[in-house]
Amino acid sequence: MNKPTTSATEQAHGMSGTLVKPDWPPLTLDEVRELLRQFPALGAPLRIETVSPRPFSAAGVVAAATGHIFVKRHNHAVRNREGLLEEHRFLAHLRQAGAPVPLVFANAAGETAIEIGEATYEVHEVPAGLDLYEDAISWTPFRCATHAHAAGVALARLHLAAAGFAAPCRAVRPLVASFTIFAAADPAAEMERYLAARPALAQHAEVRRCAAQALELLAPYHAELQPLLPALAPLWTHNDLHASNLMWSGRGNAAQATAIIDFGLSDRGNAVYDLAQAIERNIVEWLALVQDPAHPDAVPVHFDHLTALLEGYESVRPLSAEEAAALAPMMALCHAEFALTEADYYLGVLHSAANAPLAYDGYLVGHARWFLSRPGSALLHALRQHASAGPSRRAVRP
């Protein structure tokens, strides 16, 4: 979830919404100079203009001899060459289909994922538009309903462009928002397979306890979703459409989305899963639950933005009856695998016992339990109302 920012900083977004020391050291001009020797067409780097506060890699906008570029460095444990190429193949398909996504530059040998030492690098163009939400973190709302509508339009157009990309699901690796556990007829068995493929999770007693608790809490939503799953066509999706992963046409409330960035969480899922993720990222202020877990009824839900996002989406790609019916249970389920993969990152990559519990307990269990609260129930009720109305009459109200 990295993006450029307009002010250099050596602080990163923490899990609770505060600024913390970054997990990975920021880019240096010397390392960028070494990297860009492989990209002679871009010229030498002149300066690093911005540093991204996103926590999972090191990135920033670099002024090079031929213009501005976006450079991103990953530790091998997070993204090796093949891991990045999974994303780059999807981006290439989207660009060929006309989607407004950034170009990934190839080096002189035609490679887009460059391994140097313990790091894997990628170099992107800086897409057109303004980084209007440069300081926004996930789980913070749009500035206005018009922006929510524009995000819905952008997501629907992305889904249309993604059609025909037939790559299989991504290999097991950290920080991928997959959809496998609750796509299965037996989520408990699939959960066991998911954990077994990630030793840092499988060997952790508290993770296993929380996984079992989440399965119990989420069982009714899986039962609601299961008969609808055959109607959800497989599709590679973004899985992190927060306002900060969009570029914008201006600074005002009438701004439209001009580009979609950061495909690090992308994987093969389905359109409803991605739409639920967009709702989860933008409409529910989960950070209020992090700060005050004893009062789930105090978590704000932006129903006007939800209405606008869905109206924008369906103005481009109307949901089928089955897709609309699947949205409410998918809303309750969509957070589960990202919570687990984030726990895997903290336990298996960073070996951070301090941050991991917020992922496997606070996110996985806490978010699942929240749907039993007054605002959580109201959100699911609103999505079921949306499904029961015809496409031309749909509106979302608490």
Side chain identity, residue 126: V
Phi and psi based region of residue 106 (left: phi greater than 0; alpha: psi -120 to 50; beta: remaining): beta
pLDDT digits (tens, 9 = 90+) for 60-73: 999 999 999 999 99
Span 92-112, average pLDDT? 97
Whether 358 has a pLDDT exceeding 60, the answer reads: yes
pLDDT digits (tens, 9 = 90+) for 12-63: 454 555 556 778 999 999 999 999 999 999 999 999 999 988 889 999 999 9
Query: What pTM, to 2 d.p., does this model score?
Result: 0.93
**Element at 323 (helix H, strand E):** helix 321-333
What whole-number percentage of the chain has pLDDT above 90?
88
For position 21, what pLDDT does the model report? 74
Residue ranges of the chain that CATH labels 3.90.1200.10 = 145-388
Partners of 62 in the beta sheet?
A: 48, 69
What is the rounded CA–CA span in Å between residue 85 and residue 346? 23
CATH architecture of 145-388: Alpha-Beta Complex (3.90)
Where do we find the tokens 């190429």?
85
Whether 10 has a pLDDT exceeding 80, the answer reads: no
Please say whether the beta carbons of 164 and 294 come within 8 A. no
Whether 392 has a pLDDT exceeding 80, the answer reads: no
Span 172-178, average pLDDT? 96
What is the rounded CA–CA span in Å between residue 122 and residue 113? 5
For position 20, what pLDDT does the model report? 64
Side chain identity, residue 287: L
Phi, psi of 55 (to 5 degrees): -85, -20
pLDDT digits (tens, 9 = 90+) for 246-284: 999 999 999 999 999 999 999 999 999 999 999 999 999
Span 178-198, average pLDDT? 98
Rounded (5°) CA angle 112-57-164? 45
Span 126-132, average pLDDT? 93
Instruction: Tell which CATH classification among 3.10.129.10, 3.40.50.360, 3.40.720.10, 3.30.200.20 matches the domain 12-125.
Output: 3.30.200.20
For position 135, what pLDDT does the model report? 82
Side chain identity, residue 362: G
Please say whether the beta carbons of 95 and 101 come within 8 A. yes
Whether 114 has a pLDDT exceeding 90, the answer reads: yes
Residue ranges of the chain that CATH labels 3.30.200.20 = 12-125
